Amino acid sequence: MKPRETTMDVSEIKRPRRWHILVFLLPALIVYTAVMILPLIETLRQSFYNTVDGQYAFVGLGNFQVLFGDPRWAADFWNALRNNCVFFLIHMVVQNPIGIALAAMLSIPKLRFSAFYRTAIFLPTLLSFVIVGFIWKLILSPIWGVAPFLMDIVGLKWLFAPWLGRPDSALIAVSLISVWQYIGIPMMLIYAALLNIPDEVIEAAELDGVTGWSQFWKIKLPLILPAIGIISILTFVGNFNAFDLIYTVQGALAGPDKSTDILGTLLYRTFFGFQLQLGDRSMGATIAAIMFLIILAGVSLYLFAIQRRMRRYQF
Amino acid sequence: MTRTTIKGLLLASSILGSAGLVQAQDKTLTIESWRNDDLAIWQEKLIPAFEAKNPGIKVVFSPSAPTEYNSALNAKLDAGSAGDLITCRPFDPSLELYNKKHLADLTGLAGMENFSDVAKSAWTTDDGKVTFCVPMASVIHGFIYNKDAFDQLKLSIPTTEEEFFAALDKIKADGNYIPMAMGTKDLWEAATMGYQNIGPNYWKGEEGRLALIKGEQKLTDDAWVEPYRVLAKWKDYLGDGFEAQTYPDSQNLFTLGRAAIYPAGSWEISGFNTQAQFKMGAFPPPVKKAGDTCYISDHTDIGIGLNAKSPNADAAKTFLTWVASPEFADIYANALPGFFSLNSTAVKMTDPLAQEFVSWREKCKSTIRSTYQILSRGTPNLENETWVESANVINGTDTPEVAAKKLQDGLDSWFKPAK
Q: What is the pLDDT of residues A243-281, one digit of tens each?
A: 999 999 998 899 899 999 999 999 999 998 887 787 888
CATH superfamily, with its number, for domain A70-306: MetI-like (1.10.3720.10)
Q: Which residues of A touch B387 (CB under 8 A)?
A: 253, 255
CA-based nearest distance A71→chain B, Å: 10
Q: Find, in chain B, the residue whose alpha carbon is nearest to that of A39.
A: B1
Q: Which residues of B touch A142 (CB under 8 A)?
A: 239-242, 244-245
Q: How far apart are CA B392 and CA B388, in angstroms?
A: 6
CA-based nearest distance B175→chain A, Å: 16
Pairing status of strand B295-306 against strand B133-146: antiparallel
The per-residue pLDDT for A9 is 52
Q: How far apart are CA A49 and CA A182, in angstroms?
A: 37
Instruction: Identify which of A245, A266, A263 has the alpha carbon closest to the alpha carbon of residue A179.
Output: A245
- Tell whether B385 is within 8 A of chain A (Cβ): no
The per-residue pLDDT for B222 is 94
Provide the residue type at B34 as one letter: W
Which segment of A75-79, A311-315, B303-307 scores lowest on mean pLDDT?
A311-315
Are B169 and B255 contacting, i.e. CB atoms less than 8 angstroms apart? no
Facing residue for A255 by CB, picked from B2, B391, B413: B391
DSSP, collapsed to helix, strand or coil, labels residue B187 as: coil
pLDDT above 60 for A5: no
Domain(s) labelled CATH 1.10.3720.10 in chain A stretch across 70-306
Average pLDDT for B247-256: 93
Helix/strand/coil percentages in chain B, nearest 5: 50, 15, 35
Q: Find, in chain A, the residue whose alpha carbon is nearest to that of B377.
A: A277
Average pLDDT for A3-28: 72
Average pLDDT for A282-287: 94
The whole-angstrom distance between residue A266's C-alpha and the CA centroid of its chain comes to 18
Average pLDDT for A80-92: 96
Pairing status of strand B27-33 against strand A277-278: unpaired
Are B270 and B336 contacting, i.e. CB atoms less than 8 angstroms apart? yes
The per-residue pLDDT for A3 is 47
Which segment of A4-13, A57-66, A172-181, B79-88 scores lowest on mean pLDDT?
A4-13
Instruction: Please tell me the number of Cα atoms within 13 Å of A137 on its side-chain side.
Output: 23
Could you report the per-residue pLDDT of A215-231, keeping only the tens digit for each?
889 989 989 998 999 99
Q: Which residues of B touch A280 (CB under 8 A)?
A: 379
- Tell whether B244 is within 8 A of chain A (Cβ): yes
Could you report the per-residue pLDDT of B355-392, keeping only the tens digit for each?
999 999 889 998 999 998 888 888 888 999 999 999 99
Average pLDDT for A15-37: 90
Interface contact flag, B187 A42, Cβ < 8 Å: no
Could you report the per-residue pLDDT of A202-216, keeping only the tens digit for each?
899 999 998 888 988
Interface contact flag, B240 A142, Cβ < 8 Å: yes
Could you report the per-residue pLDDT of B327-359, keeping only the tens digit for each?
999 999 888 888 998 888 878 888 899 999 999
- 10 Å Cβ neighbour count for A292? 16
pLDDT above 80 for B11: no
Instruction: Identify which of B317, B279, B273, B257 has the alpha carbon closest to the alpha carbon of residue B107.
Output: B317
The per-residue pLDDT for B126 is 84
Best residue of A265, A275, A280 to probe chain B, by most B CBs closer than 10 Å: A275
CA-based nearest distance A220→chain B, Å: 44
pLDDT above 70 for B287: yes
Q: Which residues of A touch B187 (CB under 8 A)?
A: 251, 253, 255-256
- Tell whether B371 is within 8 A of chain A (Cβ): yes
Q: Which residues of B touch A251 (CB under 8 A)?
A: 186-187
Interface contact flag, A277 B383, Cβ < 8 Å: yes
Q: Find, in chain A, the residue whose alpha carbon is nearest to that of B71.
A: A272
- Tell whether A280 is within 8 A of chain B (Cβ): yes
Interface contact flag, B240 A143, Cβ < 8 Å: yes
Average pLDDT for A47-73: 90
Average pLDDT for B207-236: 94
Q: How far apart are CA B152 and CA B175, in angstroms?
A: 12
pLDDT band at B24 (very low <50, low <70, confident <90, very high): very low
The per-residue pLDDT for A213 is 87
Q: Which residues of A touch B410 (CB under 8 A)?
A: 72
Query: What are the two backbone dihedrals, phi and then psi, of residue B330, each rounded to the nearest 5 degrees?
Result: -65, -50
Instruction: Identify which of A114, A101, A119 has the alpha carbon closest to the alpha carbon of residue A224.
Output: A101
- Tell whether B413 is within 8 A of chain A (Cβ): yes
Interface contact flag, B242 A163, Cβ < 8 Å: no
Contacts by B288-292 with C-beta closer than 8 Å and gap 24+?
A: B288/B160, B288/B161, B288/B201, B288/B202, B289/B160, B290/B159, B290/B160, B292/B201
The per-residue pLDDT for A10 is 52
- Tell whether B380 is within 8 A of chain A (Cβ): yes
% of residues, chain A, pLDDT over 90: 64
- Tell whether A54 is within 8 A of chain B (Cβ): no
pLDDT band at B402 (very low <50, low <70, confident <90, very high): very high
Facing residue for A256 by CB, picked from B243, B376, B384: B243
Q: Find, in chain A, the residue whose alpha carbon is nearest to that of B414.
A: A72
Model-level ipTM above the cut of 0.85: no
Which residues 271-330 in chain B show a CB within 8 A of chain A? none
Q: How far is CA A38 from CA A53, A293, B29, in A?
A: 28, 17, 38
Are A182 and A238 contacting, i.e. CB atoms less than 8 angstroms apart? yes
Share the mean pLDDT of chain A. Answer: 89
- Tell whether A39 is within 8 A of chain B (Cβ): yes
pLDDT above 60 for B9: no
Q: How far apart are CA B334 and CA B342, in angstroms?
A: 13
DSSP, collapsed to helix, strand or coil, labels residue B326 as: helix
Pairing status of strand B27-33 against strand B133-146: unpaired
Q: How far apart are CA A36 and CA B308, in angstroms?
A: 35
Interface contact flag, B372 A275, Cβ < 8 Å: no
The per-residue pLDDT for A281 is 87
The per-residue pLDDT for A89 is 96
Average pLDDT for B91-108: 90
Q: Which residues of B touch A257 (CB under 8 A)?
A: 388, 391-392, 395, 397-398
Please give the interface size between A and B, counted as residue pairs whose CB atoms are below 8 Å apart: 115
The per-residue pLDDT for A126 is 93
The per-residue pLDDT for B6 is 55
Average pLDDT for B244-272: 93
Interface contact flag, B244 A42, Cβ < 8 Å: no
Q: Which residues of B touch A167 (CB under 8 A)?
A: 395, 397
% of residues, chain B, pLDDT over 90: 63
The per-residue pLDDT for A181 is 95
The per-residue pLDDT for B177 is 94
CA-based nearest distance B185→chain A, Å: 6
A220 Cβ neighbours under 8 A, 6+ residues apart: A104, A194, A197
Share the mean pLDDT of chain B. Answer: 89
The per-residue pLDDT for B7 is 56
